[in-house]
């Protein structure tokens, strides 16, 4: 059996595996797609100590670092079941069952898409999902934020300090964000809020040039010219396959303590699939390190 088996090969999983392997214990990684969300990222400018890099380039360095430690990397393999017996068993989609003394779950998350024409086409060409990451790229420009929940309104407030103008588009008749955030939003001079509006298309040529929405009351179509669209309608953790045995929040995020431990002894978790307050590369790597050290502590006590 493995000592530590990491499920997920993004920044959290890579960091966890390297920290574990450095203890001289048998470590493996199962990843549906090594690199995770970073593979879909163009420019990265907030990975501290690296002024600018690109997603696939960072993933290549992660892979090189992981391989340097002789970690078993099982790429293009999806875990579909976890069972705690004496050891923890992980069943893969291909039927194989892997056994390990401890497991670190780092299966990440995915942004919920609006699924309108133009979204996929203009991803990284004006369609963005992370204001902390991509906000500065739209300095002085006009943007829209789709979604008026807490994350959408926080994004709009954040962006209003950088861009020229922000249009917030909310599907429901009212914003869902906390009152204090709404007050802050309403106090900003360069924000327009449109409620009861269904986004119908993100338009553009080689990059985004506008957004179309339908007023749900009058059914009238509107078009706003702008250069960027931030989609903020939720982040979905990749945790469905775990069933009910592992404690999760109502959003499906795995609940972890400060050692990265879940409610099942020997099962740890890290990164975007957990209830961590913020979802970023550097934060995922930190929590991956925490979970590996937590798992090592568990192994020497059991």
Region of 213 on the Ramachandran plot (φ > 0 left; ψ -120 to 50 alpha; else beta) = beta
Question: Which letter does DSSP use for residue 121 in this model?
Answer: T
Task: Specify whether 273 is catalytic.
Answer: no
Cα 279 to Cα 212: distance, rounded to the nearest angstrom: 29
Q: Which tokens go with 51? A: 């002024």
Catalytic residue among 133, 142, 158, 297: 133
Footprint of ligand FAD (CB under 6 A): 7-13, 30-34, 36-38, 40-41, 44, 46, 78-79, 106-109, 111, 129-130, 133, 238, 241, 271-272, 279-282, 284
Question: Smallest gap, in angstroms, from Cβ of residue 7 to ligand FAD?
Answer: 5
CB 66 within 8 A of CB 17: yes
Closer of 12 and 156 to ligand FAD (Cβ) = 12
CB neighbours (10 Å) of residue 140? 9
CB 76 within 8 A of CB 92: no
Question: Which letter does DSSP use for residue 286 in this model?
Answer: H
Closer of 12 and 193 to ligand FAD (Cβ) = 12
Sheet containing strand 197-204, strands side by side? 197-204, 208-215, 221-225
Closer of 31 and 169 to ligand FAD (Cβ) = 31
Question: Smallest gap, in angstroms, from Cβ of residue 83 to ligand FAD?
Answer: 14
Question: Smallest gap, in angstroms, from Cβ of residue 125 to ligand FAD?
Answer: 12
Question: Smallest gap, in angstroms, from Cβ of residue 193 to ligand FAD?
Answer: 25
Closer of 64 and 219 to ligand FAD (Cβ) = 64
Residue 210, C-beta contacts closer than 8 angstroms, at least 6 positions apart: 202, 203, 204, 223, 224, 225, 226
**Closest-CB residue for ligand FAD?**
108
Closer of 185 and 291 to ligand FAD (Cβ) = 291
Cα 302 to Cα 280: distance, rounded to the nearest angstrom: 32
Question: Smallest gap, in angstroms, from Cβ of residue 151 to ligand FAD?
Answer: 13
Q: Which tokens go with 5? A: 């088996």
Cα 284 to Cα 82: distance, rounded to the nearest angstrom: 22
Task: Specify whether 206 is catalytic.
Answer: no
Catalytic positions: 130, 133-134
């Amino acid at each position: 059996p493995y000592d530590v088996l990491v499920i997920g090969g993004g920044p959290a999983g890579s960091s966890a595996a390297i920290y574990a392997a450095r203890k001289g214990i048998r470590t493996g990684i199962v990843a549906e797609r090594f690199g995770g969300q970073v593979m879909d990222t163009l420019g990265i400018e907030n990975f501290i100590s690296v002024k600018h890099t690109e997603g696939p380039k960072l993933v290549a360095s992660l892979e090189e670092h992981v391989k340097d430690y002789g970690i078993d990397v099982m790429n293009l393999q999806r875990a579909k079941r976890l069972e705690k017996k004496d050891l923890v068993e992980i069943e893969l989609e291909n039927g194989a069952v892997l056994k390990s003394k401890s497991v670190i779950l780092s299966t990440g998350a995915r942004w919920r898409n609006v699924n309108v024409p133009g979204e996929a086409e203009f991803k990284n060409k004006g369609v963005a999902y992370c204001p902390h990451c991509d906000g500065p790229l739209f300095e002085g420009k006009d943007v829209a934020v789709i979604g008026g929940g807490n994350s959408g309104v926080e994004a709009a407030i954040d962006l209003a300090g950088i861009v020229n103008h922000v249009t917030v588009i909310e599907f429901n008749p009212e914003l869902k964000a906390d009152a204090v955030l709404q007050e802050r939003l309403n106090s900003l001079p360069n924000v327009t809020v449109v409620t009861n509006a269904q986004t119908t298309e993100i338009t553009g040529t080689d990059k985004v040039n506008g957004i179309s929405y339908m007023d749900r009351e009058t059914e009238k179509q509107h078009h706003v010219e702008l250069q960027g669209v931030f989609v903020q309608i939720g982040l979905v953790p990749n945790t469905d396959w775990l069933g009910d045995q592992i404690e999760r929040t109502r959003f499906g995020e795995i609940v972890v303590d400060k050692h990265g431990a879940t409610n099942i002894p020997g099962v740890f978790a890290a990164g975007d699939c957990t209830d961590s307050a913020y979802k970023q590369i550097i934060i995922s790597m930190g929590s991956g390190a925490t979970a590996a050290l937590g798992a090592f502590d568990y192994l020497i006590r059991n």
